[in-house]
Structure 1
């Protein structure tokens, strides 16, 4: 199937990238490639960055992280992206950008929308918990603001890598063989399982991770690319850890603009406990609504595409 033909029948331009491959990969091999890139690529870069930055391997098992620790850990994800890029270029013989970074005249709008939506969706459960006395918030830490902004660089590497791997690569290779529904489910399950090894993970936390995967899958399909979901994921993680001072999927980040933590006697079901706000039932409600809206947005975009 040539590129032009595939784009006429595809349910989203995002999925067309795989049809630019001369030697496309299937979903099972694709999963093996993804796991190998994460294990090997991230480990190789970590072996360089950890000694260079003087970082202890304890950060891999839930130890508190200062700015240098956080940057070293987050930047190690670039190794996974690099290996996947080599596979896409060397084996599949297609441009790396075809994974979902297509030229678009409104890239800035997609990035801004992703960032704003992330702040809004995250702030709802945080603010509700603060107003109800479940969470306590400290005064703004002016001295740490600059360092917290620098930490954004690390989350750009980490969150974008996860989007490239799941909403980009896995959705594409799975769609080509098994169809759209399987592609959405497959990437969501893999994304959730990858987070299942995080420190202090909970059942509600895993449910919310699954919901995030569904929200971002339908968002990426509606947009036709990864710009918006990358911005969402980056800002979602950064605001949790470096702005609000809340654990990010169990990661204890110390460089924060605020210090928001559970009040005495607070309920983990509402605050998320040691996993962070991603383990809260309030976040579940917010993400369930966001998932419904993402599905509606995608269906409207699909209807518009078919009407052309």
Structure 2
């Protein structure tokens, strides 16, 4: 009943939603300041073949967005959910879960004949692997701060949990709409991914775990397994996974693994599992309160 009630309020909330989305879009533009300036002065032309160092610069450049939001919203723990308690533990768990999740999906697609895999690693790639790991950690944390921090936190302040989850997931999917290969499969995959990240925030009370999960997912997607990163060319530093078919449902096509039906199914199962855990956690809390 509470979910239906919240959804019925959406028409009255259209203006606030537009304002929140507008502010979030503004922050996303701030994070893209470096590529914008480089593009304006013609430093970057063909975005399909960007030098590795420029890719790193763009990833690290998103720290501008994190710093800006941290300064502007300082003291607001719902928009900046970075408690020190359990931070290391939650971040480490996120890295493990992210790598495990991606590996499972990639392995299933590979077993179904979706990839032709080549080894791309050599000793010189170790240096780049470290740099890209931290680069994706920054880039992913900004997206989490924007969606699971600002947008989700805005609606959590108003005790509208359903809207907090759905609206940040919609915006997260929208952020990738201009990426090559974006279609209904990619949109649903991104949406389910965002729902799962939102559930992680609700379970932990912070975005350390979902930020780490997101970072490891992108790092595994590009540098480790050598697939496209949400439609964008990924650095192939360990493996190179070439799709054996143009069939979007199997390998995700041009968009990459997130656009595959395999990924959608696994993410849906994760969302269901986390939903069950959230319900169990809520009931346990209610029982504890009633006992007191």
* TM-score bracket for the superposition, by shorter chain length: 0.7 to 0.9
CA distance in 1, matches of 2:236, 2:224: 9
The 5 A counterparts of 1:119-268 are 119-143=99-123, 144-177=125-158, 179-263=160-244, 265=245, 267-268=247-248
1:290 partnered with 2:270: yes
Secondary structure of the residue aligned to 1:136 is: strand
CA distance in 1, matches of 2:189, 2:126: 29
TM-score normalised to structure 2 length? 0.85
1:281 partnered with 2:275: no
Secondary structure of the residue aligned to 1:177 is: coil
Runs ≥4 residues deviating over 4 A: 47-52, 95-98
1:35 partnered with 2:4: no
Q: 1:46 aligns with which of 35, 38, 43?
A: 35
Q: Which runs of 5+ in 2 are unaligned?
A: 1-15
Shift of 1:86: 3.3
Shift of 1:101: 0.4
Deviations 1:23-63 (CA, angstroms, capped at 9, x unpaired)? xxx65433322111111x124333567799x962533xxx1
* Conserved 8 A contact 2:119-2:239: yes
* Conserved 8 A contact 2:44-2:50: no
CA distance in 2, matches of 1:162, 1:185: 16
Deviations 1:187-231 (CA, angstroms, capped at 9, x unpaired)? 111111111121221210110000001001111101111110000
Higher relative CO (CA 8 A, sep ≥ 6), structure 1 or 2?
Answer: 1
Q: Which runs of 5+ in 1 are unaligned?
A: 1-25
CA distance in 2, matches of 1:178, 1:146: 45
Deviations 1:134-178 (CA, angstroms, capped at 9, x unpaired)? 211112512323312321121111100010111111111123336
Cα distance change on mapping 1:289 and 1:55 into 2, 3 Å: farther
1:117 partnered with 2:97: yes
Secondary structure of the residue aligned to 1:142 is: coil
Q: For residue 16 of structure 1, what is the aligned residue in structure 2?
A: none
Cα distance change on mapping 1:298 and 1:239 into 2, 3 Å: same
CA distance in 2, matches of 1:289, 1:162: 23
Aligned-CA RMSD value: 2.4
TM-score normalised to structure 1 length? 0.81
Cα distance change on mapping 1:293 and 1:57 into 2, 3 Å: farther
